Amino acid sequence: MYKNIFFDLDGTLTDSSEGILNSVEYALKKLGITDYKRSELYGFIGPPLFDSFGEFFGLSEEKCKEGVKFYREYFPKKGIYENKLYDGIEEVLGKLKDMGKTVVLATSKPREFAIEILRYFNITKYFDYTATAELDGTRSRKEEVIEYALEISKAKREETIMIGDRKYDILGAKKAEITSVGVLYGFGSKEELVSAGADYIAETPRGLLDIVVAV
């Protein structure tokens, strides 16, 4: 029986693609980069921003830092609100709380952004703890976020399950030795999640509840 339910944010609780992609495009324009297709930028959703600028555009460390800085010129003012809650997610969160589960946000998004998104969608009330990255880059890796979530919630690993839409969530859960659920309604593919070793796969938010209750 899983008592502690850890949730990723982007692609798991909310469809943040518009705001993230718009923020990335703003940063790329400031960097003078125009040779790309918008569809290629979906890879930015999930991993740390700094890593993505380097991986997808081969930028130097200094340029990656500039990219992150430019991204954060746009995102807090506009991109953060170009976002929507997935249908059925609030119902799932409410039922988990009614069941007495400890619900924890475990995201690589910086704290002030993550907290504002929970507030904006009025879902802060469902979360017992919030484990996030920091703006200075501290705790940006998913495994670091999950370990921090375990620490602050005092959750036992064998009673904890991590829910996310990308391989980073699944691999982070594996490193922390906790069970994982990959969701298919977010930004990762079934192939990506299965290859990463997801213990369970959920096609819909409702499917998440079925898995958590069943196991």
- What was the pLDDT predicted at 215? 67
For residues 89 and 3, give the distance between their C-alpha atoms in angstroms, rounded to a whole number.
Answer: 18
Does the active-site annotation cover 199? Answer: no
Domain boundary residue, one of 41, 63, 81: 81
Same domain, 167 and 197: yes
Contacting residues for 149 by C-beta, under 8 A, at least 6 apart: 6, 104, 105, 106, 129, 131, 155
Residue 145 belongs to domain spanning: 4-15+84-214
Ranges in the chain, pLDDT < 50: none
Q: Read off the pLDDT of residues 74-126 as tens digits, 9 standing for 90 and up.
A: 999 999 999 999 999 999 999 999 999 999 999 999 999 999 999 999 999 99
What does the block give as tokens for 34? 């125009």
**Residues 8, 10, 15, 169: which is the catalytic one?**
8
Same domain, 73 and 108: no
- Residue 195: how many other CB atoms lie within 10 Å: 11
pTM over 0.85: yes
Same domain, 90 and 74: no
Same domain, 73 and 94: no
- What was the pLDDT predicted at 12? 97
Q: CATH number for the domain including 38?
A: 1.10.150.240
